[in-house]
C-alpha cells in the first residue's frame, strides 16, 4: 500500500489514525539502507532527523521482568508448569506485563532506552523438556507437547493483552524448533529427529502459539536436519510462514548468526551468514552480524527489497507496541511504578508457588497438625536466595527463603534451629558435624536439599557446573545423599524438600523419608508458600510436569533426539515418579467413566464424564487429566497421550462431576512420515490424577476412571 502525502512537520508514520500498513510503508520510504539494516539489529539507534527513538529489543521475562531491577519474582516456569493451571499462568503473565509497562515508561521518563528496558520479551520457552539432564529445562513447562502448548498459550495471552489496537508487550516462542541440550555443544550440534518425532513432539507447542497470535518466534542455536535453525528454509519458510501462516517476526538467538560460519560452517563469512538468515526469514539479529548486510548487498548476496521484508515485520511490532504514538493513546502508558512488587502481586506469586509444590510422599506426617516441640531446618538450599530465583530472573527487595518462611510460620514457643548440614555438591570436609546431634534433640527435621542455579541452567551462568549447565547424572549430588542417609539415623521425623528445576532421582531418599516435596525454584514468596503447605494452611495441588526416572542409566543418550525411551509417552522403564503425579491431603477417588457413544466416527465428538469425590475434611484442588491410549499395533505408538486436563476445586466431603469433550481429531496419530492420520481401532481412555501406569497407584494415587472407544 502506498503511503499518503505528508507534510515535512508531520510524516505519515507518526499519524496514529492511519492504517498500520500505511505508517510502515511511509517510514520505510524515509530510511537509508544503513538505517534499514540497523533496524534489523537488536540495538536500534535513534534517527533524530525523523524523530525515531532508540530501541533495544533484548528483554527477558521468563517468570517476572528480568534483569531490570525491582520486580515480582514468580516461580520458575517449570514450577508454573507444575500448577497445571491455565488461568493462573495467564494471570501471572498479565501481572508481569503490567510491571513491564510501568518499568518501561519510568525508564522513558528518565531518558533511558537500554537493554532490558523495552517491551519485546523473549519468552515463553516452549521447547520440550525431553531429557532431565538439560539445565535449561527449568525454563520450560515440561515434557508434554499438549501441556506446554496450553500453558504457553496462556502465558502469551497474559503478556500481550487483549487490546484490539496495541500489544501490552510482545511475547516470543523460543527456541524454534528442536532444541533441548546438550548446552556445551549447542553451537555446533545437528539435531536430527525422525519425521514422526518432529511433528508429534517438537513442533505442536510452537504451532499452538503461532496460531494463537504470538508476536515473535526465536530460532535455536543448533542445526536441524542439517540447516542452522535461524536460517532454515524448512523451519522458517516452509513450516512457519507457508504452513502455519505466521505473520509476526523471527529473531535469532543471541550470537546464533555468527555460528553459521564459525561453528556450523555452512557459510564462508559474516556477510554470507547474514544474507542467508534474512533471505530465509530471520528478521531480527540478536547480535551484530547483520551489520555485514551492507557488504552482502554490495556483493549481490541479498537485495535491499529482501531486507525491507524483514524491516516491515519489525516495524509492525513497534507500531503495535505504540512506540511511535503519543503516550495518552496507549492504555498502559500511565501504569504506576507503585504496582511493582506490590502486595497484590506478591500474593499472586505466593499462590503460584503454593500451587506448584508437588507432594511426592506422605506417610501421615503432613500436614503438621500441631506445633512440634522442636524443628531442625537443615540443608544447603534452606537459606539460599538463589533457589528462589532459578535463571532469567528479576530481583525483589524481599526474598523469603524457605528457612525464613518456615521460621515465620512456626508457633512462638516452638524451638526452630537451622544448620547448613552439608555442602551443595563438593565433598564433605572431615570433622565434627553438629547437625546430627541436633536432629536427635528435635521432634521434626526438615532437610532442604537438591539443586540450585549454579549447578543447572544456561551456558555461562552455572559457575559450579562442569558441563555447561547440564547435569551428567540426575541423582542427588553424592554428598547430599550421604548426608541424608546419616541424618535418617538421628531424625525422629524426617521431611525432605527438594529444590531445583528438573527431575531428581531419589529412590533411596524416597524410602527413607516420612514425606517428600518438590518445590522447584519458587520465587520471592517461596518460603511462605512452603510453610503454607507444611502447616496445612493450603493443600498441595502440584502435579509433575516431567517424568522422574529412577536412575540416569534409564535414559537414552543425551544427544539423541529420537523420542524412543523418553518421557511418559515413550519410555518403557518404570519411573520413580510418573508424569502428572502428585499427592493431596485429601482422600480422593474417581467414579466410573461414562461415554456418550461406543464408536466415534470422523467429525464426531466424544463426551466423557466421571465423578471426583473428596471424602476428607480438606478443601483441595485436583488436576483431572484425560489420556488416550492408542492401539498397540500402531507403529511406535505412544504409551499414552495427554489430550485434556482441568484443575478443579473440590470442597470437603463433596463429589464433583468432571466432563471432557474430545473431537475425533484428538485421536489421530502420527505416521512415520510425520503426518496426522486417522487410525481405526480400539483406543483406551484414562481419566485420573496421573499418567497411566501401575507406579502412580503404588505411590498412593487414586485409581483412575477407565474406558474404551472404537474409532470407526
Do 525 and 603 fall within a single domain? no
CA 506 to chain centre: 23
CATH value at residue 102 = 3.20.20.300
Name the percent of the chain lying above pLDDT 70: 99
Nearest to 90 by CA among 148, 139, 152, 158: 158
Q: Which residues pair with 49 in a beta bridge?
A: none
pLDDT in tens, 328-383: 999 999 999 999 999 999 999 999 999 999 999 999 999 998 889 999 999 999 99
Q: Report residue 139's pLDDT band, with 50, 70 and 90 as the boundaries.
A: very high
Distance between CA atoms of residues 525 and 341, nearest Å: 11
Q: Would you state the pLDDT for residue 189?
A: 96
Is 544 a member of any domain?
A: yes
Residues 361 and 378 in one domain: yes
Q: Which residues of 106-127 are buried (b: 16+ CB within 10 A; e: fewer)?
A: bbbeeeebeebbbbbbbbbbbb
Domain count, the chain: 4
The answer on 482 and 458 residing in a single domain is yes
Site of grid cell 525523523: 50
Place 459 in a pLDDT band, splitting at 50, 70 and 90. confident
The residue out of 338, 358, 384 marking a domain boundary is: 338
Which three three-digit cell numbers place residue 235? 523451519
The CATH number of residue 475's host domain is 3.40.50.1700
CA–CA gap between residue 427 and residue 480 (Å, rounded):
9
Regarding whether 288 and 168 lie in a shared domain, the answer is yes
With a cut of 60, say whether residue 8 has pLDDT above it.
no
State the first-to-last Cα distance of the chain, in angstroms, to the nearest integer: 50
Q: What is the C-alpha to C-alpha distance for residues 296 and 292, in angstroms, rounded to an integer? A: 6
With b for 16 or more beta-carbon neighbours within 10 A and e for fewer, the 248-275 pattern comes to bbbbbbeebbbbbbbbbebbeebbbbbb
Say whether pLDDT at 7 is over 50.
Answer: no
Residues 353 and 422 in one domain: yes
Same domain, residue pair 544 and 636: no
Q: Mind listing the pLDDT tens digit for each residue in 472-483?
A: 999 999 999 999
Please give the Cα distance from 309 to 283 (Å, whole number).
8
Inside any domain, residue 193: yes
Q: At which of 338, 370, 404 does a domain end?
A: 338
Q: Does 119 share its domain with 265? A: yes
CB proximity list for 118: less than 8 A, separation 6 or greater: 55, 56, 57, 58, 59, 104
| Number of other CB atoms surrounding residue 517 within 10 Å | 25
pLDDT at residue 591 is higher than 70: yes
Q: What is the mean pLDDT of the chain?
A: 97
For 698-702, the CB contacts below 8 A with 24+ separation are 699/360, 699/361, 699/577, 699/578, 699/581, 699/583, 700/361, 700/362, 700/583, 701/581, 701/583, 702/588, 702/589, 702/590
> What confidence tier does 281 reach under pLDDT thresholds 50, 70, 90?
very high
Residue 162 has pLDDT above 80, yes or no: yes
Is 577 inside a domain boundary?
no
Residue 579 lies in a domain: no
| Average pLDDT estimate for 539-566 | 98
Q: Are residues 534 and 649 in the same domain?
A: no
Q: Indicate if 611 and 640 belong to the same structural domain.
A: yes
**Domain co-membership, 3 together with 77:** no
67-87: average pLDDT: 98
Report the half-sphere exposure of 679 (CA within 13 A, side-chain side).
Answer: 21
Tell me what pLDDT residue 6 has: 43
Q: Which residues are catalytic?
A: 253
580 in any annotated domain? no
Share of the chain residues as helix, strand and coil, in percent rounded to the nearest 5: 35, 20, 45
- What pLDDT is recorded for position 540? 98
Residues 67 and 181 both lie in one domain: yes
What is the rounded average pLDDT of the residues 583-597? 98
Q: Can you give the pLDDT at residue 371? A: 84
CA distance 264 to 223: 8
- 400-448 tens-digit pLDDT: 999 999 999 999 999 999 999 999 999 999 899 999 999 999 999 999 9
Q: Write out the residue range of the structural domain in which residue 204 sits.
A: 33-338
Considering the domain architecture, whether residues 265 and 308 belong to the same structural domain is answered as yes
Bridge partners of 448, per DSSP, are 497
Q: Is residue 582 part of a domain?
A: no
CA distances from 144 to 42, 136, 518, 580, 639 (A): 32, 16, 19, 10, 13
C-alpha to C-alpha distances, 651 to 580, 586, 621, 648, 681, nearest whole angstrom: 22, 10, 8, 10, 39
Whether 1 shows a pLDDT value over 90: the answer reads: no
pLDDT digits (tens, 9 = 90+) for 22-64: 999 999 999 999 999 999 999 999 999 999 999 999 999 999 9
CATH number of residue 640's parent domain: 2.60.40.10
pLDDT reading at 2 higher than 50:
no
Task: Look at residue 113 and tell me if it is in a domain.
Answer: yes
Specify whether the CB–CB gap between 94 and 420 falls below 8 A: no
Strand partners, 449: 498
Query: Which helix (H) or strand (E) segment is 625 a member of?
Result: strand 620-629
Has residue 590 got a pLDDT over 50?
yes
Relative orientation angle of helices 145-160 and 204-211, to the nearest 10 degrees: 30
pLDDT on residue 9? 67
CB atoms within 10 A of CB 552: 15
Task: Tell me the average pLDDT across 538-553.
Answer: 98
197: cell is: 518425532
Mean pLDDT, rounded, for 242-263: 98
Q: Are the C-beta atoms of residues 39 and 311 closer than 8 Å to each other?
A: yes
Inside any domain, residue 547: yes
- Give the CB-side neighbour count of residue 392, counting CA atoms within 13 A: 26
Q: How confident is the model at residue 4 (pLDDT cuts 50, 70, 90)?
A: very low
Residue 126, pLDDT above cutoff 80: yes
Domain boundary (570, 598, 624) is at 570
CA–CA distance, 18 with 3 (Å, rounded to integer): 10
Amino acid at each position: 500500500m502506498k503511503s499518503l502525502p505528508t507534510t515535512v512537520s508531520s510524516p505519515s508514520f507518526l499519524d496514529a489514525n492511519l492504517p498500520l500498513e500505511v505508517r510502515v510503508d511511509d517510514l520505510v520510504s524515509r530510511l537509508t539502507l544503513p538505517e534499514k539494516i540497523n533496524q534489523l539489529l537488536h540495538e536500534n539507534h535513534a534517527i533524530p532527523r525523523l524523530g525515531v527513538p532508540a530501541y533495544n529489543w533484548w528483554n527477558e521475562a521468563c517468570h517476572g521482568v528480568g534483569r531490570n531491577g525491582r520486580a515480582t519474582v514468580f516461580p520458575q516456569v517449570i514450577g508454573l508448569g507444575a500448577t497445571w493451571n491455565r488461568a493462573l499462568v495467564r494471570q501471572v503473565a498479565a501481572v508481569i506485563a503490567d510491571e513491564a509497562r510501568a518499568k518501561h515508561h519510568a525508564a522513558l521518563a528518565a531518558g533511558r532506552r537500554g537493554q532490558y528496558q523495552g517491551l519485546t520479551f523473549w519468552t515463553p520457552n516452549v521447547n520440550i523438556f525431553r531429557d532431565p539432564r538439560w539445565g535449561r529445562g527449568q525454563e520450560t513447562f515440561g515434557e508434554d507437547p499438549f501441556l506446554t502448548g496450553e500453558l504457553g498459550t496462556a502465558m502469551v495471552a497474559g503478556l500481550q493483552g487483549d487490546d484490539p489496537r496495541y500489544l501490552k508487550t510482545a511475547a516470543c516462542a523460543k527456541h524454534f524448533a528442536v532444541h533441548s541440550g546438550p548446552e556445551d555443544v549447542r553451537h555446533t550440534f545437528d539435531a536430527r529427529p525422525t519425521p514422526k518425532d518432529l511433528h508429534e513432539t517438537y513442533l505442536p507447542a510452537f504451532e499452538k502459539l503461532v496460531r494463537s497470535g504470538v508476536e515473535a518466534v526465536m530460532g535455536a542455536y543448533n542445526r536441524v536436519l542439517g540447516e542452522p535453525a535461524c536460517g532454515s528454509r524448512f523451519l522458517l519458510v516452509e513450516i512457519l510462514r507457508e504452513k502455519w501462516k505466521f505473520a509476526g517476526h523471527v529473531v535469532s538467538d543471541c550470537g546464533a548468526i555468527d555460528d553459521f560460519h564459525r561453528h556450523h560452517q555452512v557459510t564462508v563469512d559474516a556477510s554470507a551468514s547474514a544474507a542467508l538468515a534474512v533471505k530465509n526469514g530471520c528478521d531480527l539479529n540478536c547480535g551484530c552480524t547483520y551489520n555485514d548486510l551492507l557488504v552482502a548487498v554490495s556483493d549481490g548476496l541479498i537485495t535491499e527489497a529482501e531486507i525491507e521484508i524483514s524491516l516491515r515485520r519489525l516495524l509492525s511490532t513497534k507500531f503495535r507496541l505504540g512506540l511511535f504514538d503519543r503516550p495518552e493513546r496507549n492504555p498502559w502508558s500511565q501504569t504506576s511504578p507503585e504496582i511493582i512488587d506490590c502486595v497484590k502481586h506478591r500474593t499472586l506469586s505466593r499462590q503460584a508457588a503454593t500451587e506448584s509444590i508437588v507432594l511426592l510422599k506422605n506417610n501421615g506426617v503432613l500436614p503438621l497438625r500441631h506445633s512440634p516441640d522442636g524443628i531442625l531446618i537443615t540443608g544447603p538450599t534452606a537459606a539460599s536466595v538463589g533457589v528462589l530465583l532459578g535463571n532469567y530472573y528479576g530481583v525483589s527487595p524481599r526474598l523469603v527463603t524457605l528457612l525464613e518462611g518456615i521460621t515465620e510460620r512456626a508457633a512462638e514457643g516452638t524451638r526452630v534451629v537451622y544448620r547448613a548440614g552439608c555442602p551443595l555438591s563438593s565433598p564433605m570436609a572431615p570433622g565434627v558435624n553438629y547437625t546430627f546431634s541436633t536432629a536427635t534433640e528435635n521432634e521434626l527435621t526438615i532437610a532442604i536439599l537438591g539443586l540450585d542455579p549454579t549447578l543447572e541452567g544456561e551456558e555461562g551462568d552455572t559457575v559450579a557446573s562442569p558441563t555447561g549447565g547440564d547435569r551428567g547424572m540426575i541423582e542427588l549430588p553424592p554428598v547430599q545423599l550421604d548426608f541424608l542417609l546419616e541424618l535418617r539415623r538421628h531424625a525422629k521425623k524426617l521431611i525432605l524438600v527438594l529444590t531445583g528445576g528438573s527431575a531428581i532421582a531419589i529412590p533411596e531418599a524416597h524410602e527413607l523419608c516420612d514425606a517428600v516435596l518438590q518445590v522447584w525454584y519458587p520465587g520471592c514468596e517461596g518460603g511462605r508458600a512452603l510453610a503454607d503447605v507444611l502447616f496445612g494452611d493450603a493443600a498441595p495441588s502440584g502435579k509433575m510436569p516431567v517424568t522422574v526416572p529412577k536412575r540416569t542409566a534409564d535414559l537414552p543418550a543425551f544427544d539423541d533426539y529420537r523420542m524412543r525411551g523418553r518421557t511418559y509417552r515413550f519410555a518403557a522403564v518404570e519411573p520413580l515418579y510418573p508424569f502428572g503425579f502428585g499427592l493431596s491431603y485429601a482422600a480422593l477417588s474417581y467414579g466410573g467413566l461414562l461415554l456418550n457413544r461406543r464408536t466415534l466416527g470422523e467429525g464426531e465428538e466424544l463426551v466423557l464424564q466421571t465423578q471426583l469425590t473428596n471424602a476428607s475434611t480438606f478443601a483441595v484442588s485436583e488436576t483431572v487429566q484425560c489420556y488416550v491410549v492408542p492401539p498397540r499395533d500402531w507403529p511406535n505408538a505412544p504409551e499414552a497421550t495427554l489430550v485434556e486436563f482441568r484443575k478443579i476445586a473440590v470442597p470437603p466431603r463433596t463429589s464433583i462431576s468432571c466432563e471432557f469433550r474430545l473431537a475425533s481429531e484428538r485421536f489421530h496419530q502420527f505416521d512415520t512420515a510425520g503426518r496426522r492420520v486417522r487410525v481405526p481401532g480400539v483406543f483406551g481412555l484414562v481419566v485420573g490424577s496421573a499418567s497411566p501406569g501401575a507406579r502412580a497407584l503404588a505411590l498412593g494415587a487414586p485409581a483412575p476412571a477407565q474406558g474404551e472407544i472404537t474409532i470407526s
